[in-house]
Structure 1
Amino acid sequence: MIGLGDQNASFRVYVENRPKMPQYQQLFDCEAMQKGDIDLIYQHCGNGWRKLFNVYAKLLCVLDPTRFPFPTQASSWQQYRDQFLLQKASDTALLFDMPQLKPADTTIHLIAGRTHAKQLIERGLACQLHWLNEEFAIDPSNKVLVTPYFDYRQLSNEKIAFSAGLLKTLTCSLCT
C-alpha cells in the first residue's frame, strides 16, 4: 500500500494523484499523518485537497455507528478530520496505488471517481463492478464501492448519504 494513513486500515480510499509536495512523491508505503499535516497539504497544494479531506471526514462521520466507529470518535466531522483522519491507528487510509483485494477480507475499498475506477480495471483490478448509475458502482464480494470524486460539487451531502447507505450494505454480511 502506497499512501497516507494507517497501514492496517480497514477503510481505504483510492485516488489517482498524490499531493504535489516532495515528501509525498517518494512514498513507497503507507505513512501515518501527524496532526497539522492536513493543514500543510491545504496550504501547499490548494483547495482541491482541502475539499478531499473534508469530504472524507464528512463521509466517515455519517456512517452507521453500529458498523463503523468513526462517528463516535469526535463531536464533528471537522474535529474528526483534525484529530484522527489518516493518523496512526485511525483505521483509515488514502491510497495512490491499486487495491489489493483478498477473498473474505473485511476491508472496505472506496475508489473516488468513475474515471479512476475504470483506469484501475484497465490496469488489472480484478473486481466485478455493478454500475448503479453513472456515478456509483459496487462489488459486494470484494467490498468495493465507486463514488464520485471527493469534491463538494461531485460528492454532495446527498451523495455522501447515499454512499453511507451503500457502505452499510457492504458490511451487512459482516454483522449477521
Structure 2
Amino acid sequence: MTNIGLGCSKFTFAVYLANTPNMLEYQDISSVNSLVSGEVNAIGQACGNGWRKVFNVYAKLLYVLNPTDFDFAQRAPTWQQYRDSYLLQTGSATALLFSPPVLNANTQTIHIICGRTYAKDLLASGKLEANLVWIDDEFAIDVKNRLVVCPYFDYRQLSNIKIERLSVMLSGLVLDSSN
C-alpha cells in the first residue's frame, strides 16, 4: 500500500484524515507531496476555516510535545511560525495522509487517526489491522504499532486540554518503544 498525502516523504509523524483539501491540485495525488512555504496558508484561504483548524491544531500539538521525546518545537519560537515554516514541508518529518495507515511495528513512526468514526470505518473495511484499546469514547491506542485515535483536529473536538492529553500519550509511545 502507498501513502498518499501532504508532507515530508520521510515522515516519522503521520496524521490521517478521511478527506483531502477541496482543491483541484490535491484530488489526484498518488504519493506524499511536500508543501512549500505559504501553501498551508493558501489551502486555508481556499478551503476555509476547517482546514485552517486542522493545520493549527497539528502545529499546536507538535509544539506542545515533550521536547525530550520530540524536537519539533525547537525549530521555531512559536507554533504559528512552526506551522508556516516547517509543517508538512521537506525535512519536517511530518505528514498529513489521506490513505489508510501502513503500520509496521519495526519503525519509529507515530500514527494518529483523526476521528473515532474514521478509525472504525477503516477497521470495518479491513483497511486497518490494529489492536486498538479504547481508553474512552474519544481516544484509542495500539502501543505495538505506535497508533493513536483521537478527536478530529478541530478546536471544539480536540481542545487544548485534549491536545495536552494526546501529547502525554504520544510520549508514552516513545518511552514504550525505547524499552
TM-score (norm 2): 0.96
144, 148, 153: which is aligned to 2:151?
Answer: 148
Cα deviation for residue 93 of structure 1 reads 0.1
Cα deviation for residue 175 of structure 1 reads 3.5
Cα deviation for residue 56 of structure 1 reads 0.2
CA contact (8 A) 1:67 1:175 kept: no
> Letter of the aligned partner of 1:65 in structure 2?
P
CA contact (8 A) 1:117 1:146 kept: yes
Alignment partner, residue 158 of structure 1: 161
CA contact (8 A) 1:2 1:30 kept: yes
Cα deviation for residue 174 of structure 1 reads 3.2
Aligned-partner SS, 2:112:
strand
10, 21, 26: which is aligned to 2:23?
Answer: 21
Alignment partner, residue 66 of structure 1: 68
CA contact (8 A) 1:2 1:95 kept: yes
Is 1:173 aligned with 2:165?
A: no
* Structure 1, unpaired ranges of 5+: none
Matches of 1:167 and 1:137, distance apart in 2: 12
Cα deviation for residue 8 of structure 1 reads 1.1
> Letter of the aligned partner of 1:136 in structure 2?
F
Aligned-partner SS, 1:102:
coil
Q: How does 1:1-176 map to 2 (within 5 A)?
A: 1-124=3-126, 125-176=128-179
* Structure 2, unpaired ranges of 5+: none
Please tell me the root mean square deviation across aligned C-alpha atoms, in Å.
0.8
Matches of 1:101 and 1:54, distance apart in 2: 26
Q: Figure out how many residues of one structure are paired with residues of the other and give that number.
A: 176
Identity of counterpart residues, as a percentage? 51
Cα deviation for residue 43 of structure 1 reads 1.2
Could you list the per-position Cα deviations for residues 136-162 of structure 1 after superposition, in whole angstroms to 9, with x for gaps in the alignment?
000000000001000000000000000
> Letter of the aligned partner of 1:41 in structure 2?
I
CA contact (8 A) 2:16 2:112 kept: yes
